[in-house]
Structure formats: structure tokens, C-alpha cells
Amino acid sequence: MKVNIVALILILFITSTAVMCKEPEKVSLRFLGNINYAPLLFMNNDTPTGLGVELVHAVLHSAQIDGEVELMEWDEAQKQMKAGKADALVLINKSPARLELYDFSEPFLESDFSIFHHISRPEINTLNSLSGLKVGSEKGGYARTILENNPNIEIITIPNWLTGFRMIEAGTIDALLTEKWVGEYTLSHYKISDIAISPIPTKKTTSYIAVAKGNKALLDKINEGLRKLSETDVRERILSHWSSETITYITNRELKAERLHKLMLLLAMALLSILGALGVYSMYQQRIIKQQNQKLKDYNTQLEELFVTDKLTGLYNRHKLDDTLISELMRFKRYQAPLSIIIMDIDFFKSINDTYGHQVGDEVLKDFANLNKNAIRSSDILGRWGGEEFLIICPETDLESAYILAEKLRSILESHEFANVGNITASFGVTTATIGANVDNLIAQADDALYKAKSKGRNRVERFSAE
């Protein structure tokens, strides 16, 4: 009996010692981010994903940090961090208030904050142009900090960026400010085509990973991971992957044309492979291949035309105009031949749609396009820039000559009788390329001149002036 008691005591002692010596379970560190931040941070089938998520995982792996990325409302993420329930915040920008709360890592990701507005309001293009307007912003984001520095801006809190864009379409707000990655992804994902982005970013920023003040051990590990990441091509591969996913301002028709183009190319490759495998040697078979190749070339030519053509007006679309403007600017810089552009916008076009309906509005756009097409020179390139805006690229044309052309078009349009509508007018902005010009600032200059024409009563031509 005594032996049994001793044995029992010995077993209990060994068991309790093992329990006390057992290592505590490791707990993954919590890295929190904004759930409404696609394509940088968002949920896909209940799993955090996005460019930012992949970069954070790469940093954790490089630094051998046991951590997980969790996404939630940004305001809630910051509350949990302040309460000590999280270990880090990802993709966060510095501000005086945040510098008092957190220590920040080395730079994590560079980005642009840009203004988004309705395509009918090109005058909204700088932070100063937002004065007196209603501008959407999420609660607690860095964009809000930028807006709060201008007391003349009425900030409207939006639940997410999609709702913000819908509010711009409805006229509830005038614009919104957000990161370019986020805005362009949302427009592309939901196929929103009547929202434009200001050509010049409002602010270029750098985002970081933030830890609680004084948590030097974790911050050092994160910085170690960032440095190791910069020594490999992992970061570039992630950025390249996600930048290829960003599609901006593309219409449903253009998407269909692009998909059809790719499908036809795949069919062509499949057909040629089958014909090659069968070994077509006879003259009859060679003739069949030649005929099929010619058909494929014809199909490809038609598809190329679809891809660069605006379906409604038959003019070049914005993608073709962008490509042409880039090549003409390169030619201007090489040979110093003058290059000018004209942006024209139909006055009060929204009232035409509201009064007569969109079918009549479409007929006006087609008639407007034909009038301009027949009036410009053979060397000019005309296209539909978006909505009721049209762009003319004028190679080897100085500012004065472009102004004369615009004035001629304005006069023709003013005197023309449009079916069901009667007389309408248009406003014109004219600018010319200078040394150091790029596509963005050339378009911004023309938009600025157009805005002056609108503000001076419409139905007029204005030249861009830097003064």
C-alpha cells in the first residue's frame, strides 16, 4: 500500500513538472489593414488579398516573423491598435497625430493621391479647385487629412469608394480624393465610365508599416524584412503582377472587342496548328490555307478597327488618341515641328439628354462628330475623348493656327441645325506643346483653356496661357 502511494505521488510530480516546463503556444502577430482598399487590400472568398497583402507576406517571410494579415474597417483597425489588441498597421501614411502614437518602418509602398470627378466637370483638377465643393472621403483615412487642411472644402463621409463614385454620378458630391490605385481599380472593376481622374496627382505619398510606440524589436524585424525584399526581385514581381491588373477608363464595348480579338487570335493559332499537323502539301490544300489566312487577316483588321474606334461616332476612341498623342509628342521632341491640340465640349449637353432623351443625345453626338470630321484638315486626328468631349491632335500646327481652326469649327457648329434639337454650341480649349511637355500636362493645359471658355460664357475658343 505504501509503495502504491509513493508511486502515485511520483507520477503526479512528473506530470506537473512536464506541464510547467511545456513551452507556451506561439501566437501569430496581428497586422491590420483597411478592408476597403482594393486592389491593395481587400477580401476574396473570406481571404485577405491584394498587392499590399502580398507585399506584407513577403516581408514577414523574409524577416521570419510569425504574423497574419487581417482586414477590417480602417477606423476599427486603428481603434484595436490603440487598445493594444494588434501589433501593426499596414499601408498607413504618416501624419503628426500618428507620429505621436506609432513608430514607422522604412518606406513600404509609394503611391499617388488623385481627385476623381464627373467627366462633365474638367475644371475640378487641383486641390484648390475643391474649395466650396462637397468632396467624399472615408472616415479616418489619409485622404481626409489632406482635405482637412483646406477649411473651405465640405468633407462628406462615405462608407466606401464605390458608394462615393455613385454619389458623384448622382450629383450628391462633386468629387472624391483617394489613392490612384484604389480609385482606378474600383472604376475598372465596376465598369464605371463617366468618372475622370485629374491628370496631375494631388499628393505623392509613401505608406509604411506602423507599430506601437517603443516596440523596437518588432520594428527592427520589419525593417530587416523590407531590406531583404529590396535585395531580390520579389517586390518588382508583385508590383508588376498587380499593375497589369489595373485597367482604367475602358468601356464595355472596348472590353468585348478586346476579348473577341484575343479569342480570334486563339482560334487562328488553333486552326494553323491543326492545318500544320495534317501536313497540307497539295496545291488545293495550300490554296485553302491561303484563303483562311486572308480571312484571319481580314478579321484581325476588323477587330483592330473595333478596338480603336468609338462605336457611337465612328471616330477614334480615347485609347487610340492616347497612343497617337504619345507618338506625336515623341516626333515633336525629335524634330521640333510644332504640335497643338484642341479639346471641345458640347455646351449644356446634359440638358439635351434630360429634355429629349439619350437617343436624341446620341444622334447629336454623331452629327457633331461628322461636322467636325468634314471640317478638319487631312493631317488632323479627331477622336471622342469621352462623353460629349472631343479631341483634335494637330501635327505641325502652331498655337495661332490651331486657334483659327477651332474658331472655324465653333462657327460651323453654331450655325448648324441639329435634328430635334435645333442650334447648339460648343466650347474649345487650345494649347501647343513646349519643350519638356508630356501627355498629362498637355491635356491639363487644354482642359484649363476649356474651363476658361466655359467660365466666360461658353460658345468660345480660349488659348492656354501660363500666366
The answer to whether residues 114 and 249 touch, using CB atoms and an 8 Å cutoff, is no
pLDDT over threshold 50, residue 19: no
The pLDDT of 292-300, averaged and rounded, is 66
For 372, phi then psi, to 5°, come to -70, -40
The per-residue pLDDT for range 134-157, each reduced to its tens digit, is 999 988 778 888 898 889 999 999
No. of helices (H) and no. of strands (E), the chain: 16, 17
pLDDT, residue 244, reads: 43
pLDDT over threshold 70, residue 7: no
CATH code matching the domain that covers 29-109+206-243, chosen among 3.40.50.300, 3.40.190.10, 3.30.420.40, 3.20.20.100: 3.40.190.10
- Is 388 assigned a catalytic role? yes
pLDDT, residue 255, reads: 46
The secondary structure element, H or E, covering residue 177 is strand 175-179
pLDDT, residue 6, reads: 53
> Rounded distance, CA 305 to CA 250, Å?
16
C-alpha cell at 413: 457648329
What integer best gives the mean pLDDT of the chain? 85
The secondary structure element, H or E, covering residue 71 is strand 67-72
The per-residue pLDDT for range 225-266, each reduced to its tens digit, is 999 888 888 888 888 777 644 434 334 444 455 566 667 777
pLDDT over threshold 80, residue 9: no
pLDDT over threshold 80, residue 278: no
Q: Does the global pTM surpass 0.85?
A: no
pLDDT, residue 248, reads: 40
Greater model confidence, 27 or 250: 27
pLDDT, residue 307, reads: 75
The pLDDT of 325-342, averaged and rounded, is 91
pLDDT over threshold 80, residue 416: yes
Lowest model confidence (mean pLDDT) among 82-86, 207-211, 311-315, 434-438: 434-438
**Domain residue spans of the chain:** 29-109+206-243, 252-308, 318-463
> Rounded distance, CA 444 to CA 441, Å?
5
The secondary structure element, H or E, covering residue 203 is strand 203-212
Specify the long-range contacts of residues 283-287, CB closer than 8 Å, at least 24 apart. Answer: none
pLDDT over threshold 70, residue 1: no
Catalytic, out of 254, 328, 388, 462? 388
pLDDT over threshold 80, residue 4: no
> Rounded distance, CA 117 to CA 130, Å?
10
Question: What CATH topology corresponds to 318-463?
Answer: Alpha-Beta Plaits (3.30.70)
pLDDT over threshold 70, residue 442: yes
Phi/psi region, residue 438 (left: phi>0; alpha: psi -120 to 50; beta: rest), is: beta
The pLDDT of 159-188, averaged and rounded, is 91
pLDDT, residue 191, reads: 87
